[in-house]
């Protein structure tokens, strides 16, 4: 069986699956239960001067009948006293010495305040500290959370203060609500951060009640922008993880966060450079029990693919993330329809016709044969037809061989390399030929 | 014949005649609607004789636009309510669904259609308005689905419409002849009322005996009088008490409390069409101990839809194939049916015989030949088909009549 043990910036855990800081890590009881069920680590719900929460806190974005494809919250940090949280952290650590217990912290941007909380945290025996510089709602209005994480200088300054006293690893949690996350990541590194975690939640309004015009989640008729998370944000998180992991000036470990719900999600984050994975929304949806398949699925996949440890797969996809200008312009694809699999819904036709390059021709339904066929000279290999096709592997994208060497835009624009010939039809409107019934 | 029903409680009878396809809950409808692929040039729409834009109405259910969904349905098919309950969707829209080719169950189009149309029926929402008055007058003979579909679309085009109906109630077979567990008369009548509310003048209990007379008062005449009575067996004993024709049996059931419809303990239904299935299943549901189809030809020759055959089997009905009725036995009451089989003559003991061997054409009304202002549709024109065919033909006739009145 694959070795899932993790050493993340010196923090050890039996597997890379950590609970992200949030409602599931609010109490001793929750974290202990999660560890019993197999979670490798937990980042405690952010500790600071206790706040008072509003009652309505979460909003869901459903996709059709799939609940919580996207999810947001306007909940603040813990509403429990600092001492109580620290006591429970110590208790968890005592009872689960092999699991990773991380304290998430957020206090006023004052050196003394940070020194105090860091020292108190170290006394619990916690394995590490995560600085919450990402929370985009509520706390940011008070100069904390993303108000810190959006300004490189503030980020660097507070990390420095923390590192003045911290002896355990310090993870800086980054907000995605910035123009370029790598600037913040570099500032954290400059301040002395031992690791990064990303992404925190994304500014959002999840919806409007069309009867009352109240934004959701509504608090007595009004709402505030909240932090967006859940499966919907995974692509954004993958991109930002790759951007930070691929930045040569950021050489510290990264904990991946953002819409992780399955082992496949986890494997993708690891392939883009994540050392551990943090999960929150999926647990809020389905409970701690999901860790069983996170571990089992990842482990089985690794065994099947011959990957013996997480190090074997970490960052494996990173070299394949490049700038657009590096992509090969002579790599040509052609859509291919497996007529035996086609169920004749014509979704590919309507998508290509209205939404792409008019490269599919309709044939009469009543002749009993195929109802769609690719117009090869017009197909630009865009993948849209394959994306809309409801039958798996009915439409596949097949490389078209040519005798031309690969050429990137960078080289081509510099006068180096030759473009393989392209069909005239790529550049001319063809609706009249393909849309006539 | 044995005593009427008798053996079943009112609760059992009500359960036996409850909707065979109960309506979807809102959640179930949304779940189902989301499965629709939204095909282009959709095979379900092509398969529907009224060409309802099925993907469009299903997507509107998914988006929470039930009023808009119902309008798509009813715009194409004025009998969208009854078709949602009684259409043979297995051989029409649902049979054409592309998901069948993905080895999946087709979308539950009928139930979704019911979901959308019930929404407007329950709330009495009016989706259509009469057109600007043209002062052209059209007479419609027969208030069945064909005539009323024609009437509705003529009213939407502004023509004055008078419908003549021989029976006491409008709706034709929708009111009197669809199996009770599929469509109840109150739904059929509410659907009709929706059409009448567009300003259709209805004269019930009126038998038209001359089209020529109508043509003197009206600019056009549409004839949708359906078929005549059930054909006779032409065998001895068929006038014995206890021998009834299927349509009379079903009409009685649909217009009286269930307990008041007489049914035998051992019922034989002669014929194997869809009406025969309706008769045998309803006899069983009324409490007959045995209800058996007797058919002169083989299992694979049955004209009923396959799923109707399956339904009858599920109901516990019996089937005797290759048994040709020779004689109804009995002295003052039915005692048995003598049939000729491959093995010789045999007697099937029974105390009730229901005859369902098809209806003959109506002969009481003569249509002028090729008259440009006389139009027909429905069972009397197509020889007997589904509600949806009648509706499609009524709608098509309204279009032709409108063109005739506008340009003729």
pLDDT at B205: 97
Beta strands in B73-226 (DSSP E): 137-141, 160-165, 201-204, 220-223
- Positive or negative, the CA dihedral B35, B179, B201, B406 is positive
Q: Which chain A residues contact residue B41 at CB under 8 A?
A: 346, 362, 365
Nearest chain B residue (CA) to A389 = B37
- Tell me the mean pLDDT in the region B74-93: 97
In a 13 Å sphere around the CA of B205, the CA atoms on its Cβ side amount to: 1
What is each CA distance from A289 to A100, A268, A293, in whole angstroms?
18, 21, 8
How many other C-beta atoms are found inside a 10 Å radius of the C-beta of residue A224? Answer: 13
Give percent of chain B with pLDDT exceeding 70.
98
Q: What are phi and psi of B34, to 5 degrees?
A: -70, -20
Interface membership of A347 toward B (CB under 8 Å): yes
Tell me how long chain B is: 408
The three-class DSSP label of residue A226 is strand
pLDDT at B263: 96
Q: Which of A65, A66, A345, A361 to mutate to test the interface with B (most CBs of B within 10 A)?
A: A345
Whether pLDDT at B174 is above 60: yes
pLDDT at A436: 41
Nearest chain A residue (CA) to B28 = A65
With cut-offs at 50, 70 and 90, classify the pLDDT of residue B275.
very high
Distance from CA of A389 to the nearest CA of B (A): 9
Nearest chain B residue (CA) to A392 = B102
Residue A278: beta bridge partners? A18, A257
Interface membership of A345 toward B (CB under 8 Å): yes
Average model confidence (pLDDT) across chain B = 96
B98: nearest CB among A65, A345, A362: A345
ipTM (interface predicted TM): 0.84
Which residues of B lie inside 8 Å of A (Cβ-Cβ)? 27, 30-31, 34, 37-43, 46, 62, 98-99, 101-102
Low-confidence ranges of chain A (pLDDT < 50): 430-437
B37: nearest CB among A345, A362, A365: A345
Q: Which chain B residues contact residue A65 at CB under 8 A?
A: 27, 30-31, 34
Rg (CA), chain A: 25
Distance from CA of B29 to the nearest CA of A (A): 10
List, in order of start, the domains of chain A with CATH numbers.
Answer: 6-320 (3.20.20.70), 324-434 (3.30.70.20)
pLDDT at B7: 78
Give the CATH fold of the B19-122 domain.
Answer: Fumarate Reductase Iron-sulfur Protein; Chain B, domain 2 (1.10.1060)
Question: How far apart are the C-alpha atoms of A144 and A157, rounded to whole Å?
Answer: 13
B132-141, pLDDT tens digit by residue?
Answer: 999 999 999 9
Question: How far apart are the C-alpha atoms of A94 and A115, rounded to whole Å?
Answer: 24
- Cβ distance of A344 and B98 shorter than 8 Å: yes
Question: What number does CATH give the domain B243-355?
Answer: 3.50.50.60
- Cβ distance of B101 and A343 shorter than 8 Å: yes
Interface membership of A387 toward B (CB under 8 Å): no
Distance from CA of A263 to the nearest CA of B (A): 26
Q: Which of A63, A65, A69 to mutate to test the interface with B (most CBs of B within 10 A)?
A: A65
- Cβ distance of A350 and B40 shorter than 8 Å: yes
Q: Which chain A residues contact residue B37 at CB under 8 A?
A: 345, 347, 390
- Cβ distance of B37 and A65 shorter than 8 Å: no
Q: Where are the domains of chain B?
A: 19-122, 137-228+361-407, 243-355
Whether pLDDT at B52 is above 70: yes
Q: Which A residues in the span 288-307 are in contact with B, Cβ-Cβ below 8 Å?
A: none
> Do B243-355 and B137-228+361-407 fall under one CATH topology?
yes
- Cβ distance of B40 and A345 shorter than 8 Å: yes
pLDDT at A138: 86
Distance from CA of A318 to the nearest CA of B (A): 36
- Cβ distance of A346 and B41 shorter than 8 Å: yes
Query: To which H or E segment does residue B377 belong?
Result: none
- Tell me the mean pLDDT in the region B109-131: 97
Nearest chain A residue (CA) to B59 = A64
Interface membership of A207 toward B (CB under 8 Å): no
Pairing mode, if any, of strands B374-376 and B220-223? parallel
DSSP codes joined into one string, A153-210: HHHHHHHHHHHHH--S-EEEEPPS-SS-HHHHHHHHHHHT-SEEEE---EEE--EE-T
Interface membership of A87 toward B (CB under 8 Å): no
Distance from CA of B287 to the nearest CA of A (A): 42
Q: Which chain B residues contact residue A349 at CB under 8 A?
A: 40
Q: Which chain B residues contact residue A345 at CB under 8 A?
A: 37, 39-40, 42, 98
- Positive or negative, the CA dihedral B221, B222, B225, B227 is positive
**Catalytic site includes residue A345:** no
In a 13 Å sphere around the CA of B115, the CA atoms on its Cβ side amount to: 26
- Cβ distance of A365 and B98 shorter than 8 Å: no
Fill in the DSSP letter of residue A405: P
Question: What number does CATH give the domain B137-228+361-407?
Answer: 3.50.50.60
């Amino acid at each position: 069986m694959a070795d899932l043990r993790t050493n993340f910036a010196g923090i050890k855990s039996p597997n890379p699956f950590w609970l992200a800081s949030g409602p599931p890590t609010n109490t001793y009881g929750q974290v202990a239960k999660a560890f019993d069920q197999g979670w490798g680590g937990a980042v405690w719900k952010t500790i600071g001067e206790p706040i008072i929460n509003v009652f309505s806190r979460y909003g869901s974005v459903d996709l059709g009948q799939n609940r919580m494809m996207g999810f947001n919250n306007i909940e603040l940090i813990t509403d429990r006293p600092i001492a109580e949280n620290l006591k429970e952290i110590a208790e968890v650590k005592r009872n689960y010495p092999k699991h990773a217990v991380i304290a998430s912290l957020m206090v006023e941007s004052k050196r003394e305040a940070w020194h105090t909380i860091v020292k108190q945290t170290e006394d619990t025996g916690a394995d590490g500290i995560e600085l919450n510089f990402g929370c985009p709602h509520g706390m940011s209005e008070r100069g904390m959370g993303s108000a810190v994480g959006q300004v490189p200088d503030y980020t660097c300054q507070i990390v420095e203060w923390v590192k003045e006293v911290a002896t355990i690893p310090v993870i800086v949690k980054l907000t995605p609500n910035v123009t370029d996350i790598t600037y913040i990541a570099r500032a954290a590194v400059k301040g002395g951060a031992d690791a990064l975690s990303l992404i925190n939640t994304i500014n959002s309004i999840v919806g409007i009640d069309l009867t009352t015009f109240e934004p959701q989640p509504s608090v007595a008729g009004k709402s505030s922008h909240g932090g967006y998370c859940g499966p919907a944000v995974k692509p954004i998180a993958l991109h930002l993880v790759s951007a930070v992991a691929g930045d040569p000036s950021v050489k510290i470990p990264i904990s991946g966060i953002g819409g992780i719900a399955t082992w496949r999600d986890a494997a993708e984050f690891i392939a883009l450079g994540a050392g551990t994975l943090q999960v929150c929304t999926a647990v809020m949806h389905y409970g701690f029990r999901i860790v069983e398949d996170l571990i089992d699925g990842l482990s089985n996949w690794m065994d099947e693919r011959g990957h013996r440890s997480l190090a074997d797969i970490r960052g494996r996809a990173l070299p394949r993330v490049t700038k657009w200008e590096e992509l090969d312009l002579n790599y040509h694809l052609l859509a291919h329809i497996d007529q035996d699999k086609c169920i004749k819904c014509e979704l590919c036709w309507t998508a290509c016709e209205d939404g792409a390059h008019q490269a599919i021709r309709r044939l009469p339904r009543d002749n009993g044969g195929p109802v769609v066929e690719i117009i090869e000279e017009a197909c630009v290999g865009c993948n849209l037809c394959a994306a809309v096709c409801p039958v798996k592997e009915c439409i596949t994208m097949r490389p078209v061989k040519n005798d031309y060497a690969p050429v990137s835009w960078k080289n081509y624009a510099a006068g180096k390399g030759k473009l393989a010939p392209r069909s005239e039809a790529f550049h001319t409107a063809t609706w009249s030929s393909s849309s006539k019934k | 014949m044995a005593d009427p029903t008798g053996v079943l409680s009112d609760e059992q009878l009500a359960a036996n005649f409850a909707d065979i396809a109960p309506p979807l809950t809102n959640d179930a409808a949304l779940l189902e609607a989301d499965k629709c692929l939204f095909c282009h040039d959709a095979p379900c729409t092509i398969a529907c004789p009224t060409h309802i834009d099925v993907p469009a109405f299903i997507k509107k259910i998914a988006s929470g636009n039930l009023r808009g969904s119902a309008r798509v349905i009813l715009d194409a098919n004025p009998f969208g309510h009854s078709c949602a309950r009684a259409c043979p969707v297995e051989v029409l829209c649902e049979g054409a669904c592309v998901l069948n080719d993905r080895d999946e169950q087709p979308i539950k189009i009928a139930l979704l259609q019911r979901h959308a149309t019930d929404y407007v029926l329950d709330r009495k929402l009016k989706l259509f308005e009469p057109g600007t008055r043209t002062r052209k007058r059209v007479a419609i003979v027969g208030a069945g689905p064909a005539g009323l579909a024609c009437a509705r679309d003529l009213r939407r085009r502004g023509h004055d419409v008078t419908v003549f109906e021989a029976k006491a109630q409008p709706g034709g077979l929708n009111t009197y002849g669809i199996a009770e567990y599929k469509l109840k008369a109150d739904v059929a009548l509410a659907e009709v009322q929706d059409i009448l509310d567009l300003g259709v003048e209805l004269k019930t209990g009126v038998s038209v005996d001359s089209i020529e007379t109508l043509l003197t008062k009206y600019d056009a005449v549409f004839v949708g009088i359906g078929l005549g009575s059930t054909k006779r067996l032409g065998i001895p004993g068929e006038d014995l008490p206890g021998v009834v024709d299927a349509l009379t049996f079903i009409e009685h059931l649909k217009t009286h409390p269930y307990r008041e419809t007489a049914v035998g303990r051992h019922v034989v239904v002669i014929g194997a069409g869809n009406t025969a299935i309706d008769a045998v299943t309803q006899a069983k549901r009324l409490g007959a101990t045995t209800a058996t189809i007797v058919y002169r030809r083989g299992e694979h020759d049955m004209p009923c839809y396959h799923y109707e055959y399956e339904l009858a089997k599920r109901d516990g009905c019996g089937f005797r194939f290759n048994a040709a009725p020779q004689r109804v036995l009995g002295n003052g009451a039915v005692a048995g049916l003598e049939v000729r089989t491959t093995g010789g003559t045999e007697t099937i003991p029974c105390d009730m015989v229901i005859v369902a061997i098809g209806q003959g054409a109506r002969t009481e009304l003569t249509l002028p030949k090729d008259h440009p202002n006389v139009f027909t549709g429905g069972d009397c024109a197509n020889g007997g088909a589904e509600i949806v065919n009648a509706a499609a033909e009524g709608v098509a006739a309204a279009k032709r009549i409108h063109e005739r009145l506008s340009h003729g």
